[in-house]
């Protein structure tokens, strides 16, 4: 079973144009994401996927494998699926394709290991990083997609609303948000990209609901709580830089 890692990145982000190449602690955000993902030891392929010449040039300058894709993709997973067909190896139906979002500069090999672990169960075709929520601001932030799951860890629903309901927020209630790392068996990713947007996907602006709407599931990949800040807007950069001060991987790449 091969493991293919794709880091989708594009310059035209509505809330933060040019985000992939924005500096964080003196290095482009994409550089943090790629080099930290590369610390995972079991990739068969790890490459950046983009439609932008600026990103292609940056990757070539830094020696990162880069795959050019169409500029018509509006969803990261569509870009990932196209890139998987151009990654230089034959991807078999049950090989694993990992989408490593290019705005997760605090990821590490532990995150990739967590997303891979559920695939030991042959009934699992898709996984989703589940990040513990320990503060009420994150719980209420619509930029942070929350998830609920059943007792087996199968995702039931994702929402920008604060779920599950709690009268008074408590970190001990087990609320989780979606982290920007997803795993798919290749046949399942192909199926996903061939389906139309679903009603709950459109209502919540969460494409994982396409899977729930069609009666399938992703298995959560739980991670131990630690500073893990995505970059959705310019003000998130300062939070990431603060977290890097105590980050065990900082200085190792």
* Residue extents of the structural domains in the chain: 3-130+178-199+206-244
CB distance 237 to 20 below 8 Å: no
Is residue 130 within a helix (H) or strand (E), and if so which, with residue range? strand 126-132
What is the per-residue pLDDT for 184?
98
| pLDDT tens per residue across all 253 residues of the chain | 999 999 999 999 777 999 999 999 999 999 999 999 999 999 999 999 999 999 999 999 999 999 999 999 989 999 999 999 999 999 999 999 999 999 999 999 999 999 999 999 999 999 999 999 999 999 999 989 999 999 999 999 999 999 999 999 999 999 999 999 999 999 999 999 999 999 999 999 999 999 999 999 999 999 988 888 899 889 999 999 999 999 999 999 9
Query: What does the block give as tokens for 83?
Result: 């890139």
CB distance 164 to 177 below 8 Å: no
Q: If you classify domain 3-130+178-199+206-244 with CATH, what class do you get?
A: alpha beta
Q: What are the backbone dihedrals phi and psi of residue 135, each rounded to the nearest 5 degrees, phi first?
A: -145, 150
What is the per-residue pLDDT for 85?
98
For β-strands 45-50 and 66-68, DSSP reports them as: parallel
What is the per-residue pLDDT for 13?
79
pTM greater than 0.75: yes
């Amino acid at each position: 079973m091969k493991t293919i890692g794709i880091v989708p990145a594009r310059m035209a982000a509505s809330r933060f144009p040019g985000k992939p190449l924005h500096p964080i602690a003196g290095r482009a955000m994409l550089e943090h994401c790629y080099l930290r993902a590369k610390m995972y030891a079991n990739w068969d392929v790890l490459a950046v996927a983009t439609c932008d010449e600026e990103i292609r040039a940056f990757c070539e300058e830094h020696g990162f494998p880069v795959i050019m894709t169409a500029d018509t993709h509006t969803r990261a997973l569509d870009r990932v699926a196209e890139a998987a067909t151009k990654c230089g190896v034959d991807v078999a139906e049950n090989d694993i394709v990992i989408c490593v979002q290019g705005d997760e500069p605090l990821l590490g090999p532990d995150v990739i290991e967590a997303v891979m672990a559920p695939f030991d169960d042959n009934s699992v075709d898709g996984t989703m990083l589940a990040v513990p929520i320990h503060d009420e601001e994150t719980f209420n932030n619509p930029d942070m997609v929350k998830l609920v799951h059943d007792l087996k860890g199968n995702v039931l629903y994702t929402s920008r609303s604060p779920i599950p309901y709690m009268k008074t927020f408590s970190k001990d209630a087990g609320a989780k948000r979606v982290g920007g790392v997803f795993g798919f068996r290749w046949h399942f990713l192909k199926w996903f990209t061939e389906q139309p947007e679903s009603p709950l996907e459109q209502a919540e602006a969460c494409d994982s609901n396409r899977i729930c709407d069609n009666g399938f599931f992703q298995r959560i990949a739980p991670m131990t709580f630690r500073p893990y800040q995505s970059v959705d807007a310019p003000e998130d950069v300062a939070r990431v830089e603060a977290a890097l001060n105590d980050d065990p991987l900082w200085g190792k790449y």
